[in-house]
Chains A and B, each alone.
Chain A
Amino acid sequence: MAIIELQNVTKDYGDSRGIFNINLSIELGEAVGFVGTNGAGKTTTIRHLMGFLKSNSGTVKIKNLDAWYDAAEIKQWIGYIPGEIAFPDVKTGWEFIHQQAELLQLKDLSFANHLIERLQLDPSANIKRMSKGMKQKTAIVAALMANSPILIFDEPTTGLDPLMREEFIQIVKEEKAKGKTIFMSSHMFEEIEETCDKVVMIKEGKIITMESISTIMSNENQQFIIEFSNDQECNRFMKEQIDSVAISNTTVSVDVDNQTLNTLLAVLSKYQFDNLTEQKHTLQDQFYNLYSGGQLHD
């Protein structure tokens, strides 16, 4: 059963800004990453899910309820981290957490306390003086504390240090293991690679691909960069029956599938080379391919 479903959703802000004909379906227990450049329409899409924006056409449904008309009812299942964190006019982090808990009619704060401990947050601090990272952690606690079955995050790790980002990824993995449905936008590819089943890419308001992470990361085809000791070796290698492309006088890039990997190694043993590196297929490559039309070489 699709938990989140968008059908032909269009929100036109003019000047080809907005989102156009978005179709998206997220199943129960699925984790979907949402990537795209700035201004591609990620936040606009998420605002539709939250019932903040009304689409010009198309339907947005969460658990089969209309995200605009039944916005309040839907919220009982949603934990949300906004893209821009702005807290209400309260003094401390605790005051904010308690107020959110009250609005969510949440009595038991034990999970909130657990998260606070893991994220090393000090909620007794003055909320207006909190650093960006502290605010982000407070927002994360508020979004997760009610154990909501659907989690919608808009760039949840902005401002977190690498250690805390790692901790957050762990938390999201655990939430996913509990069977939660997760939809999150991010600019951190590793984050999505580690936590999500699928990735949706949006460009200029249109969804350009929706693929499973395992397909993108698949290593059926491997690419190696070989750096030879000198030009002669390199030229000699280019004449072999192997699919290779010269990158410079001494380096070549080779594409092999799992079957021909042994052949490559056998051939290579007859050459003098300095360096052999595998080019990982990552979400990042995929992203660069789709957005700038070029392969990324480190």
Chain B
Amino acid sequence: MINGTIFKQTLRSNVKLWLMFTIVLSILQVVMIAVFDASTLENVGGLVEGTPLAGLLAQTTLLSMLASTFYSIHGVIFPIIFIIMTANSLIASQVDRGSMAYLLSTPTKRSTIIMTQAIYLIMALIVMFLIETVAGIVSIQVFQSDTDIVVSDFVMLNLGLLLLMFAISGISFFFSSYCNLTKNSLAFGAGIPIAFFLFHLLSTVDQSLDVLNYFTINALFDTTAILEGENYWWKLSVLLGIGIVLYIASLEVFKRKDLPL
């Protein structure tokens, strides 16, 4: 159900973008781990005591610092941009430009095209986070060998982030499959993930904005729960479920829709 020729072609035209994002993401991760210094943060924590920022800097372990920075901002928005660009180019832009006609003028099923493209996007994310995780673990060993870090918690943060990205890629991929025009695919496939990201970010700024957390799937990647050993599995399972449902929906709408080719 996967076509090697299409996969090779997809890989060739998308691998550069993937490589760029993977490198940037890994470097960010490494830099943040490398510059972490518990004592500096404690000093800063003293300065901001009594301000809203105090909560942000209350805990000063490496992982909690990463959780409130990398795992809520950089590590989220960079992969989201990668997903938006890639998901759109995998289906919608090819329908919009008309080049999809060439795939479909050969004995290739529509479902084969969707599955091949979906596999590329999912694999790209898995390998991206695998590299980022390995880079993280290595730099922890190199730069923070004297700090006490629970590696399994670190891995869980990355797995959680991967599942969040899987769900978000489902959103972008669905609209890429559903829309015939790039502009519509991007309006929803980029608009929704970015809105989710912003809702989540705002909700951490002030208590009064907490309600926004109910309108974003990013809240299902609960870093506090992971670090404090609370039950987080059901939230991650929901993310996995959202992703699976959206990918199946993508397949079904693409099989049934009219293509202006």
Contacts and interface: CB of A to CB of B under 8 A. Distances in A.
A76 B107 CA distance: 5
A75 interface: yes
A95 B138 CA distance: 40
Contacts of B13: 89-90
Contacts of B102: 82, 87-88, 96, 100, 142
A87 B13 CA distance: 13
A177 interface: no
A72 B104 CA distance: 7
Contact of B107 (A75, A90, A143): A75
Given A89-B13, A104-B106, A99 B101 contact: no
Nearest to A98: B5
B2 to A, nearest CB: 13
A78 B105 contact: yes
A96 B107 CA distance: 16
Interface string B47-89: 0000000000000000000000000000000000000000000
A52 B106 contact: no
Interface in A188-242: none
Interface string A74-86: 0110101010111
Contact of A99 (B5, B107, B261): B5
B146 interface: no
Nearest to A86: B98
A51 interface: yes
Given A52-B101, A71-B104, A102 B5 contact: yes
Given A86-B98, A88-B94, A88-B103, A52 B108 contact: no
B258 A103 contact: no
User: How many B residues are at the interface, by size bracket?
Assistant: 20 to 34
B106 A100 contact: yes
B258 A53 contact: yes
A156 B105 CA distance: 15
Contacts of A75: 104-108
Interface residues of A, number: 30
Interface string B231-259: 00000000000000000000000001011
Contact of A103 (B5, B98, B260, B261): B5
Contacts, number: 78
B73 to A, nearest CB: 32
Contacts of A53: 258-259
A281 interface: no
B95 to A, nearest CB: 10
A173 interface: no
A72 B107 contact: yes
A50 interface: yes
A50 B105 contact: yes
Contacts of B101: 50, 52, 80, 82, 86
Contacts of B12: 90
B183 interface: no
A187 interface: no
A86 B108 contact: no
A47 interface: yes
B107 A73 contact: yes
A54 interface: yes
Interface in A99-126: 99-100, 102-105
Contact of B261 (A73, A82, A89, A102): A82
B224 interface: no
Contact of A52 (B6, B94, B112, B261): B261
Given A54-B258, A99-B9, A86 B106 contact: no
Contacts of A50: 101, 104-105, 261
Contacts of B107: 72-73, 75-76, 103-105
Pick the 10 closest A-B CB pairs, nearest first.
A86-B98, A103-B106, A89-B13, A80-B105, A52-B259, A72-B109, A75-B107, A102-B5, A86-B99, A86-B97
Interface of A: 47, 50-54, 71-73, 75-76, 78, 80, 82, 84-90, 96, 99-100, 102-105, 142-143
Given A71-B110, A86-B99, A143-B105, 20 more contacts: A50-B101, A52-B104, A52-B259, A71-B104, A72-B109, A72-B110, A72-B112, A73-B107, A75-B107, A80-B105, A82-B98, A88-B94, A89-B9, A89-B13, A90-B12, A90-B13, A103-B6, A103-B106, A103-B107, A104-B107
Interface of B: 3, 5-6, 9, 12-13, 94, 97-99, 101-110, 112, 256, 258-261
28 contacts: A47-B261, A51-B104, A52-B104, A52-B260, A54-B256, A71-B104, A72-B108, A72-B109, A72-B110, A73-B107, A75-B104, A75-B105, A75-B108, A76-B107, A78-B105, A80-B101, A82-B98, A82-B101, A84-B98, A86-B101, A87-B102, A88-B99, A88-B102, A88-B103, A90-B9, A100-B102, A103-B107, A105-B107
